[in-house]
Every structure is written in structure tokens, then in C-alpha cells.
Amino acid sequence: MQFPYDDALDYPIDGLPYQGHFISPGAEAPLVLLAHAWGGVTQAEINQARKVAALGYAVLAVDLFGKGIRPTDNAGRQAQISALYADRAQLRARMAGAVSALQALGCQTQRLVLAGYCFGGAAVLEAARAGQPALGYVSFHGNLNLPDGQDYQLTRAPVLICHGSADTLVSLEQFAALGVALEQAGVPHELISYGGAPHGFTQEGTERYHPRAAEQAWQRFTAFLAEVFK
């Protein structure tokens, strides 16, 4: 691979093809893995990856659905995420498989932060509960529910949660319960709730977009990256 790089990245997981989008100034750059919302790797995810990469990081917009699987209607999107919620081992494998692909390219996978939006936030927390190595885990308006039989005892790095207080899909009760679970496991964490912000508040161009909360979450995210990569 020649650097700088900004293009699609094909990689296999268990013999099946996946295609994310990788942006990197060089092989020595710290890594950020961005997990997508329920539509798969779209231009919105690529744009967000470029925004993070502009700070000097290598960024992979990871593919959790499979190459070419980019559902455009809500029924198709729901089918994809429901299948992975029902098979948590597969969801964990797809997060870990993306990191393995980057490791094979010689990237600095020991200096890695996992971050995700909506469904991607849930995928990041699934990786955290699995003990997937990272320097930090970040969820933006993600599903915060703790599946039966799971906990955060294997999580070994700080967790940052950026949540909207007006989220009607993920309640403040779930937000608080996550804080309890992280505290019980002794995991360093910061849970931020933005007043008036709905589910998907970072998604520009949608009716859910909440500019103030989105900007505040972005500023905290960039500061978090600087803190864990120092």
C-alpha cells in the first residue's frame, strides 16, 4: 500500500468479502476505526472518516455488513442489524476482522480507538465487552442496551458515550444503567447527555441533526483522541 491513501479497502473475514474505506497519511499514524450506522458504509461515513483523518489519524470506515450490502430502505437496514444483534459472536468477529486486515497492512493496530454511530456505537460496545484491544471506545447515539449474560469485566480502556437526552429509541434509563455497569466493572468512563438532541443527532442533512450537540460531541471526541494517543 502506498501512502497517503484514501480509497476503498477490500478485506476478507471468514472467507467472505468486505469493503470499507481507508484513509491514512502513513503506516505510523494512530488508528481510528469508525463503525457505521444501519445503512452500511455510505458517503456519509466516508465524509466523517475524512474529517477525522484531517486531524492526522489513519481511519477505517469499517464494513459490518459485507461488500456491496448497502441497504437503502428501512426494512433492509433493520434486517441487517437484527441479524447481527441476534448473532453477537458474528458482530464481534466483524469488528475484530477489520482490525486484523489493518494489521496485515502493517498499520499501528496497537494504537487504536474504536468509535461508532447508532448501530456502529452498539458494535463498538460489543467489542469493548469482548475485550477487543483498543486505547478507547466511543459511541455516538448508539444502542446502549446490555445483552443478557454480558458485562464489561473484560474492558480495559476508557469508554466515552455521547447520547441525546431526547433520544426516543435509547432511553435515559438505559444511559444510566450503562453507567452503573461500567462503574461496577471498574471501567474508566464518561457519559455525556445532550439536552434536546434526538437519536442520530450527528447526522447532517437529516431532520435528526442537532448542530449544537453534534459540535459539542465532535469537540469532546477530538479531545478524547488526543488524550488517549498522547
Residue ranges with strand state E in 73-179: 112-117, 136-140, 159-164
Q: For residue 1, what pLDDT band results from cuts at 50, 70 and 90?
A: confident
Structure confidence at residue 141 (pLDDT): 98
**Going by C-beta distance under 8 Å and a sequence separation of 6 or more, which residues neighbour residue 111?**
30, 31, 135, 229
Condensed to tens digits (0 to 9), the pLDDT of residues 53-83 reads 999 999 999 999 999 999 999 999 999 999 9
Percent of residues, the chain, with pLDDT higher than 90: 98
pLDDT at residue 6 greater than cutoff 90: yes
pLDDT at residue 211 greater than cutoff 90: yes
Sheet containing 31-35, strands listed edge to edge, beginning at the edge strand earlier in sequence: 5-13, 16-24, 58-62, 31-35, 112-117, 136-140, 159-164, 189-194
Cβ–Cβ under 8 Å, residues 20 and 98: yes
Condensed to tens digits (0 to 9), the pLDDT of residues 134-167 reads 999 999 999 999 999 999 999 999 999 999 999 9
**Residues in a beta bridge with 159:** 137, 189
Q: Domains in the chain, please, with CATH?
A: 5-229 (3.40.50.1820)
Rounded mean pLDDT of 178-207? 97
